[in-house]
């Protein structure tokens, strides 16, 4: 299991912890504030910085921002090398964008030989890490910085890095959501929208994702899943990462910070499924904690006797109703792991053969 201690040792810096030296507040509150400013347009959008803020908060503001930038620059330069070296048969006017996407995909998923100063170096592709895919044992297993350290990641860190590299190289890459899952949606003039799946280094068609990924048709109609996230929605997703890390680190406490993050994400999109789920589950835990603290065995008795509990229950209930109306259906974790395996074993059955990037 990847340890937090090793991450701290390799990324600790006393002098370059990304602006935290200017504040007298906690890293989580600072990260929330800075990402919120990006969402509100008060500071320049940077998905790269938003991701770093959420990850360094977990390590009490001690990650080395300069090292983070250096690692990104390494893969950016490698992508440029591949883009200039590889040949791609594509004749539409967006050829340069497609070449850039092809280079990022290859860098992340393929072995590449480099000749540097008469030495042959090998770039090893990132591997999917099936250990603790939801970050339950160690939340840092979800991090881009962990991806840099161990050359392995998951459906959270891999698409995040792809998006970061794309934006560093001046092209657009949209995050997209499925139950328990994040992937990339790109657009080409030749093909239209296509899916990029980093977990299996493939390009699955929408129909296969719909049929196998536990995605209800209503969720697609309502834009809950399989739709592109905007810049603000991508930033909101990092706020939800921040809140989940906070809960794993400190527990739910009074729920104030977690609910503040969820509510900020819902300002961006009132039907943001990940935010609705986080808010409802947090309220459920708060209600259960109140039952335990006040010594109630029957929730109905608590609701009748406590106005605050009654209001909390009603709001929680309304959110769960909305979640169901939008088409969310819970995907069991065991089924998700089986689905990930199918992404690899059945890749030829669902591969989009019309995209301009050769696998």
- Residue-wise pLDDT for 235-255, tens only, equals 999 999 999 999 999 999 889
Q: What is the pTM of this model?
A: 0.88
d(CA 127, CA 109): 8
Residues 284-294 have a mean pLDDT of 91
What one-character DSSP code corresponds to residue 24?
S
Residue 4 clears pLDDT 60, i.e. is over it: no
For position 206, what pLDDT does the model report?
Answer: 86
First and final C-alpha spacing in the chain: 31
Q: Where are the beta strands (DSSP E) in the chain?
A: 112-116, 119-123, 127-128, 152-153, 174-178, 181-188, 192-196
Is the pLDDT at 24 greater than 50? The verdict is no
Window from 69-83, 105-119, 252-266, 282-296 with minimum mean pLDDT: 105-119
pLDDT score for 9: 36
pLDDT of residue 208: 75
Query: Could you report the per-residue pLDDT of 176-221, keeping only the tens digit for each?
Result: 998 888 999 999 999 899 999 998 888 988 887 776 656 888 888 8
pLDDT of res. 201: 87
> Residue 331 has what pLDDT?
74
Alpha helices in 214-305 (DSSP H): 217-221, 231-250, 256-268, 273-294, 299-305
- Residue 322 CA to residue 168 CA, distance in Å, equals 37
**Rounded average pLDDT over 243-268:** 95
**Residue 16: pLDDT above 50?**
no
Check residue 2 and give its pLDDT: 38
99 CB-near residues (< 8 Å, 6+ apart): 83, 86, 88, 90
More confident call, 246 vs 23 = 246
State the average pLDDT over residues 312-341: 85
> For residue 352, what pLDDT is reported?
73
Could you report the per-residue pLDDT of 69-91, keeping only the tens digit for each? Answer: 999 999 999 999 899 888 888 88
Binned at pLDDT 50, 70 and 90, residue 155 comes out as very high
Cβ neighbours around 201 below 10 Å, total: 20
User: Residue 314 above 70 pLDDT?
Assistant: yes
d(CA 302, CA 327): 31
pLDDT for 11 equals 40
Please give the share of the chain, as a percent, with pLDDT higher than 70. Answer: 86
More confident residue, 254 or 46: 46
- Beta-carbon contacts of residue 289 (< 8 Å; ≥ 6 apart): 252
Higher per-residue confidence, 211 vs 66: 66
Q: Quick one: average pLDDT of 163-181?
A: 95
Res 343: pLDDT: 66
What is the rounded distance in angstroms from the CA atom of residue 193 to the CA atom of residue 66? 35
For residue 6, the tally of other CB atoms under 10 A from its CB is: 13
């Amino acid at each position: 299991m990847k340890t937090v201690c090793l991450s701290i040792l390799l990324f600790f810096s006393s002098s370059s912890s990304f602006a935290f030296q200017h504040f007298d507040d906690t890293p989580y509150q600072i990260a929330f504030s800075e990402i919120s400013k990006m969402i509100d347009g008060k500071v320049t959008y940077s998905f790269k910085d938003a991701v770093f803020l959420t990850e360094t908060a977990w390590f009490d503001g001690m990650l080395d921002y300069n090292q983070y930038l250096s690692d990104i620059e390494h893969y950016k330069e490698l992508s440029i090398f591949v883009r200039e070296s590889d040949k791609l048969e594509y004749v539409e006017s967006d050829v340069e964008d497609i070449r850039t996407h092809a280079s990022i995909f290859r860098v992340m998923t393929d072995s590449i030989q480099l000749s540097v100063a008469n030495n042959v170096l090998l770039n090893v592709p990132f591997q999917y890490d099936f250990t603790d895919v939801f970050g339950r044992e160690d939340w840092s297993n979800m991090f881009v910085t962990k991806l840099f350290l161990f050359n392995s990641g998951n459906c959270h860190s891999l698409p995040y890095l792809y998006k970061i590299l794309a934006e560093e190289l001046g092209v657009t890459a949209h995050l997209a959501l499925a139950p328990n899952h994040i992937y990339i949606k790109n657009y080409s003039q030749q093909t239209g929208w296509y899916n990029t799946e980093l977990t299996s280094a493939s390009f699955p068609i929408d129909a296969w994702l719909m049929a196998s990924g536990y995605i209800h048709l209503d969720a697609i109609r309502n834009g809950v899943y399989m739709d592109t996230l905007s810049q603000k929605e991508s930033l909101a997703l990092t706020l939800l990462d921040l809140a989940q890390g906070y809960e794993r680190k400190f527990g739910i406490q009074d729920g104030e910070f977690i609910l503040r993050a969820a509510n900020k994400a819902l300002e961006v999109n009132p039907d943001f499924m990940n935010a609705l789920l986080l808010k409802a589950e947090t309220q459920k835990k708060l209600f259960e904690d109140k039952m335990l603290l006040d010594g109630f065995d029957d929730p109905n008795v608590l609701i009748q006797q406590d106005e605050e509990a009654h209001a909390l229950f009603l709001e929680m209930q309304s959110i769960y109703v909305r979640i169901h109306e939008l088409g969310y259906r819970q995907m069991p974790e065991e089924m998700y792991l089986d689905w990930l395996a199918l992404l690899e074993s059945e890749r030829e059955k669902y591969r989009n053969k019309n995209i301009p990037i050769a696998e």
